[in-house]
Amino acid sequence: MEIKDFIKSYQELFSGETWYGNSILKSLEDVPLEFWNEKPRNTKNTIAEIVCHIIDWRYFVIEKLKENASFDIMLNSKADWRENVSVRTTEEKENLFLELKKSQETLIGLVKEKDILWLEEKTPGKAYCNKYMLEGVLQHDVYHLGQINLINSQLKTE
């Protein structure tokens, strides 16, 4: 993949038309406010918690794009999964949407500055390359998008 391919993939996943279903924004727009804090049976996280988790891992990539070698997120930490996440009002939902959109704009803006050789360089502070990181955040977003859609569909049938 080239830089332009990553940008296209990020844009399609976020707000475009994907071959596998709705984009992140379309999926989240379809979630009623009353579902954002609900957990169907045998579900660990709410939609609100998952959205915050997506945002935080995008921030991880943003810090690496800024060459911040010391920034890290430990798995299953408070930085990985925020505590006391709650979306109870339209305003809180809109604020979370704004935070997600800002992460998208910042991510795309920083990726646009990179060249193809950068993809093979080591990610600052990590043992893997930048291409692996960019592919990873795409996979991460798609994985959690599936969870969001599954939770939403389960709650609709309860």
- Rounded to the nearest 10°, the torsion over CA 85, 124, 115, 11 is -10
**pLDDT tens-digit series, residues 42-86:** 889 999 999 999 999 999 999 999 999 999 999 988 999 999 999
| pTM listed for this prediction | 0.95
**pLDDT tens-digit series, residues 16-48:** 998 889 999 999 999 999 999 999 888 899 999
| More reliable by pLDDT, 1 or 155 | 155
List b or e across 111-133, with b for residues whose CB sees 16 or more CB atoms inside 10 angstroms. beeeeeeebeeebbeeeeebbeb
